[in-house]
Amino acid sequence: MPEKLLQEEKTKIDLLAIAFHNFNQATQSLEESYQTLKDEIAHLNKKLAETNRELTRKVEELSRIHSYLSNILDSMMEGLIAINPQGKISIFNRAAQEITSQPREKVLGSSYQKVFGDKNRAFTHLLKKTLEDRKPLMAERKFYRENEVVPLEIATNPIKRKDREIEGALAVFRDISAIRKLQEEIQHKQRLAMLGQMAASVAHEIRNPLSAIEGFALLLKDTFREDTKKSQWANNIVKGTRNLNNLVSNLLNFARPLKVNFQQIQIKEIIENSLSFAFQRIGEEKLNIQIKKEIPTQPIKIIADPELLEQAFLNLILNAIQSMANEGKLTISVDKQVYLHPSPHEFFREWEGDYILTKSYGEVHIRFSDTGCGISKEEMKKIFHPFYTTKAKGCGLGLTITQRIIQSHGGGIKVESKEGKGTTFTIYLPLDEIT
């Protein structure tokens, strides 16, 4: 090979070597850059995963706080409504649903004035005023729901942000019908106690002169033996004083604390005894009153005072008979309900002035249904009040005494009535372990 050619080939090889060298260097730096990038991506990925975890934790915590808060709101006995400044409902807890009978799904996001309507303007006005005046309010208002009216105690508050800007208003409210009922019961008891004291002192004052009048009237009657007219007059005086004496005895009975002599009895026997008194009356005055008994053949035993229970039943039977002008039907039915619960119910039984906690395993229901004149809604509120009567010869103590007797046995009375159709009194008495 000529010298020149050889030189050229050598130069080429050298160039190639340089190129290779350069290429190697480039590859190496590329590899390094790639590794750095990879590390950076791994680092970023790690950070992203961490942020994701943190975010998930925060979301979970938020949802936990949210459900904790709504559990608190839903566990409240009081109803709670919150509205925004535009009057749209934003919170409506479980008690609010129950008290207002409105479902949460329908109410949330709707205008509170539309939801509660014109009938409940007195209620919604409180929220309106709180929103406008930014001041809390407290009041009692009637609330109209479906077919009934319930008394509510309401407290409203403006919802303020930290910067004092108003964010809405809230109302917390509760149904106070049970408290009202208790208050009425206390008043009823206080009235009874007062009347009792008064009756006891008056009765003693009246009894003596009454016996003297009766004694003299009997003497007169004897003196006028020959004169039928005058003897009849004297007899009227005797009858009148006896009626008065009867009233005084009733009053005294009513004034004294009940002495209950508990023993095991059979309901059927007590009903039969009360009926036999009633039959005498029907025999005398009302021939067309039918009495129907629906009593189970299997004996039902309870712990009770037979005489007191007889008196209670007789009072109801007499009232039923008196409510039917000349004819009608009185149905007396008895049934027994045994509780399914494994642990028996407990109740207080009055015992020698004390209240003893007693266990009950069920209830006996004794129903007195008549086809008489019925009781109006207005009258219904008063029938258990002492001395409330619509009868010329009544003294208005029958139901008061009956209620006391039943309560002293740990039971209760319920009345249902339709004017012109008839009335049903149901007595509930607890069943004891032994029955």
Ligand X SMILES: Nc1ncnc2c1ncn2[C@@H]1O[C@H](COP(=O)(O)OP(=O)(O)OP(=O)(O)O)[C@@H](O)[C@H]1O
Residues engaged in binding Mg ion (CB under 5 A): 319, 398
Comparison of 304 and 320: residue with beta carbon closer to ligand X? 320
DSSP states of 150-192 as a string?
EEEEEEEEEEE-TTS-EEEEEEEEEE-HHHHHHHHHHHHHHHH
- Of Mg ion, ligand X, none, which one sits near residue 255, judging by CB under 5 to 8 A according to partner kind? none
Residue 306 near which of ligand X, Mg ion, none (CB within 5-8 Å, type-dependent): none
User: DSSP letter string over 17-73?
Assistant: HHHHHHHHHHHHHHHHHHHHHHHHHHHHHHHHHHHHHHHHHHHHHHHHHHHHHHHHH
Q: Closest approach of Cβ 383 to ligand X, in Å? A: 4
**CB-nearest residue to Mg ion:** 398
Closer by beta carbon to ligand X, 250 or else 360: 250
The helix (H) or strand (E) run that includes residue 311 is helix 306-323
Of 154 and 427, the one with the shorter C-beta distance to ligand X is 427
- Out of ligand X, Mg ion, none, what residue 410 binds, judged by CB under 5 to 8 A for its kind, is none
Of 53 and 391, the one with the shorter C-beta distance to ligand X is 391
| Residue 391: CB minimum distance to ligand X, A | 4
CA distances from 187 to 176, 181, 182, 235, 267 (A): 16, 10, 9, 42, 33
What is the C-alpha separation between 142 and 148, in angstroms, rounded? 10
Among Mg ion, ligand X, none, what does residue 185 contact (CB within 5–8 Å per kind)?
none
Helices H / strands E in the chain, number of each: 11, 14
- Of the two residues 124 and 319, which places its CB atom closer to Mg ion in the complex? 319
**In the complex, which residues of this chain contact ligand X (CB under 6 A)?**
315, 319-320, 323, 370, 372-373, 375, 379, 383, 388-391, 394-400, 423
H or E, element range at 415: strand 412-418
> Which one, 169 or 366, has the nearer CB to ligand X?
366
> Least distance to ligand X from the beta carbon of 218, Å?
25
Considering the complex, what minimum distance in angstroms separates the CB of residue 107 from ligand X? 43
Q: Binds 158, which of Mg ion, ligand X, none (CB < 5 to 8 A, cut-off by type)? A: none
| Residue 388 interacting entry, from Mg ion, ligand X, none, C-beta within 5 to 8 Å by type | ligand X
Amino acid at 370: D
* Residue among 319 and 360 whose Cβ is closer to Mg ion: 319
CB of 380 to ligand X, least distance (A): 9
Using CB distances below 5 to 8 A depending on partner kind, what does residue 241 bind out of Mg ion, ligand X, none?
Answer: none
What is the C-alpha separation between 398 and 250, in angstroms, rounded? 9
How many angstroms separate the CA atoms of 277 and 268, rounded? 15
